[in-house]
Chain A
């Protein structure tokens, strides 16, 4: 049984009290004395040459303090890509400068080219309307195939064919893969689109720049998932200011899903404006700006081929993908379709030969980058869809086929043909658990019942794996990363025995304040209520890499455990002195340091007090104080995995799909807080169902975003979703981090889309519509109905 409030307890989220009572403090809630307001001017055309921006009238308007354009930032650095991906032929990737504000050209609708700062937001908006931009519209390239094929259409003048890189993984294996396909008894081919998504965090992006002319210090309040990375990018790459003169504070942040990992130009702009005006400058995006300028997700066009024998044993897998990166490279945009996608193309299977080709393509659309799952949903979708198609072609049972191709429990550590080493797992166990909790055996009766109501019922399955807990720095360094991916924690025991934990991870809804306190409480044997979790402020926390890629617990949590271990080790030294015993004889248990085999003991609080009031203390050999910092760099990725099942009812008359049930059997390793894990899975599955049935970012041929509001971009709502059945009992603890945790944040969004689509195809086949082999997401009534009709 878990200790009350410790590891494994479903402790209620402490942060929800302030979130649910309106006491959260988000960037938009922060108002600094004397602040001015910024309004950005954004391109209305997808591609255009900026001839002239006339700001005279705007400058003369009431309350206007400054109007800045791209020219004012031309001398600053570009916002860099964080990962270098070389092409198959060894060429470096193309990295066009991404300026703070567009200069010379605008390259997507929403590309900011000027900013107006005024006394009030209304004055800033009015003045923005008076800025006259003479922009000559140029032909836009929106479609990736056209971007690659038409040499006359260029997002960046210097990049022919708009290809950022042409990546092969693993290039040396290509010949063997091709040979296997030539010799294979059966090849299944599928062309599919992984639909483009708008992240839609509940809180739009916001930033306040605050320059202190007295000290020369810059302070940035911003909606960030990783304040230290933002600080590094702004200081060292974009603005060229000393890192120690910039503090980045990401207070409460209302969701990110990846879109707030990145540094955006607005952050540098408000800092620069603040310095120019000697006043704080605040900007809060409206929802339209979020749609236009947040980094979008997914947007792959893929051709996948699976070679098998006639019994459905996987022999080889091959993919060609066009991955949209939009108009500029967002910070992780080059890693997402490659090392978070290509390396996962083995899935949980023993496919011996895999080759992945990805071309990253510039288009006149908003930048595309990591969105919940980031590359791994795309990989999982491609694999699970082609496996399902193969099963139909060969008339094989999709459960049996998956089962016999899964990596077996005795094969770990398992080296995949795409460069990863899975440390542990038990994929047959989660599949078996799924079959049980989703009641596969009762499906036929449910199908018959649906049929009586005139509905087509289908059952769809997916298995999934991801590499998360990113990442071993030396490994990703070899793979092209330009940053380390460790994390850090400082555990500060105060004199009165309570604790402040400063973590490099950042919570924007995950519940870190609760879970991290549970872990420290469990390890130190003091109540969670005496433990404060501090995050999001670079002036308080050690240099950490923030939260994304399901890394907070596996990496940040591990750093915290290491720091706690150092606290305990020092506490033992202090206790040994106070108890006049040998250090080796001191044991720490349940919050007490005691001499083994005796009743002599000191509480944790007594040790803490002694550390800060060191009257009886080994000062000659030990420093006072009780505060430890640890950095943790993981030895490997973590590999959560699982199996998902979806049941749908399709109305063949209208094409409408209803999710009847959804079940998840996951292996997240050790679970710290089951309730929070359930919530993470629920949220991820909701987003996956959103992708599968509802969501799509659509641009027209001119590059106009047609889905620029919730009138046209359909978000999943409660009545689109069933009650979820979630199980994470089949856990195999991670072998290389101290908590044995793997990460759960992205799972739901990774495993669910193929389960939904497989279920719909299954329903149509059972209903006699056997010519439908694939429908691209989102499976709107119109698309499903059309597929049935054709």
Chain B
């Protein structure tokens, strides 16, 4: 499964770049992430709980950042093993472009699964991966833009789970509505 999308973030590229390299922000943005440790240089160890169709599992795995061109682009790759549930892996090639008032974040995502996840959930993987990617970048945007940015752009249900990075915006409905009608 592959998907390509982009979103505009109200922050300069340097801020966005720094956020991508920050494990706390990554943890806040990966849906279902229970823990993430490590550094951008050595890779992160992550525990993620997710449910794909009938299969719910706790995935333990690594997230690595590679092909880094500071301030411009990088590749985020993750692979997690979910025990009897199988494995999931995915990657996103992320490109940052400066635009008036912020940064355009473009991404190409691919994802694949194996084991029980593939046997039971293959039909659901495309939708699941799309939702994971959307949620991730939505949260990322929200986190980077911070509470001040909530006027434009928080998705319903995209509740970040990292305490100090929680923008806690009270105007989520507005951002969600704007996306639908805009």
Contact = CB atoms under 8 A, between A and B. Distances in A.
Interface string B104-129: 00000000111110111011000000
A291 B83 CA distance: 19
A712 B123 contact: yes
Nearest to B53: A711
Given A109-B115, A704-B113, A44 B86 contact: yes
A654 interface: no
Contact of A44 (B115, B120, B122): B115
A707 B120 CA distance: 8
Contacts, number: 48
Contacts of A125: 84
Interface residues of B, number: 14
A176 B5 CA distance: 60
The B interface, classified by DSSP as helix, strand, loop or mixed, is helix
B120 A711 contact: yes
Contact of B118 (A129, A708, A711): A708
B122 A700 contact: yes
B122 A712 contact: yes
B87 interface: yes
A45 B123 contact: no
A278 B154 CA distance: 63
Which of B86, B114, B119, B122 is most buried by chain A, counting CB atoms within 10 A of its CB?
A: B119
A706 B122 contact: yes
A288 B119 contact: yes
Contact of B114 (A45, A288, A291, A712): A45
Contacts of B86: 44
Interface string A306-318: 0000000000000
A709 B119 CA distance: 6
Interface in B81-116: 83-84, 86-87, 112-116
Contacts of A705: 118-119
Contacts of B115: 44, 109, 704
Contact of A708 (B83, B112, B119): B119
Interface residues of A, number: 19
A702 interface: yes
Contacts of B118: 109, 700, 704-706, 708
Interface string A114-154: 00000000000100110000000000000000000000000
Contacts of B119: 288, 291-292, 704-709
B84 A702 contact: no
Interface string A689-717: 00000000000101011111101100000
Nearest to B119: A708
A44 B123 contact: no
A289 to B, nearest CB: 10
Contacts of B120: 288, 708-709, 711
Contacts of B112: 700, 702, 704
Contacts of B116: 288, 708
Interface string A746-789: 00000000000000000000000000000000000000000000
Contacts of A712: 122-123
Which of A44, A109, A702, A706 is most buried by chain B, counting CB atoms within 10 A of its CB?
A: A44
Interface in A79-137: 109, 125, 128-129
A128 B123 CA distance: 27
Contacts of B113: 704
Contacts of A292: 119
Contacts of A707: 119, 122
A204 to B, nearest CB: 15
B81 to A, nearest CB: 8
A325 to B, nearest CB: 22
A715 to B, nearest CB: 16
A45 B112 CA distance: 12
Contacts of A706: 118-119, 122-123
A627 B119 CA distance: 53
B83 A129 contact: yes
Given A44-B87, A129-B83, A702 B114 contact: yes
A45 B79 CA distance: 13
Contacts of A129: 83-84
B163 to A, nearest CB: 31
A706 B83 CA distance: 19
B51 to A, nearest CB: 15
Which of A129, A288, A705, A711 is most buried by chain B, counting CB atoms within 10 A of its CB?
A: A711
B36 to A, nearest CB: 21
A704 B84 CA distance: 15
Nearest to A125: B84
A402 B119 CA distance: 43
Given A292-B119, A705-B119, A712-B123, A128 B114 contact: no
B60 to A, nearest CB: 11
A125 B116 CA distance: 14
A45 B113 CA distance: 10
Interface string A43-55: 0110000000000
A292 B112 CA distance: 18
B114 A109 contact: yes
Nearest to A706: B122
11 contacts: A44-B114, A291-B119, A704-B112, A704-B115, A704-B118, A704-B119, A705-B119, A706-B119, A708-B119, A712-B122, A712-B123
Given A129-B83, A708-B118, 11 more contacts: A44-B87, A44-B114, A44-B115, A125-B84, A292-B119, A704-B122, A706-B118, A706-B123, A708-B122, A709-B119, A711-B123
Interface of A: 44-45, 109, 125, 128-129, 288, 291-292, 700, 702, 704-709, 711-712
10 tightest A-B CB contacts, nearest first: A708-B119, A44-B115, A704-B118, A706-B122, A44-B114, A129-B83, A709-B120, A704-B114, A44-B86, A129-B84
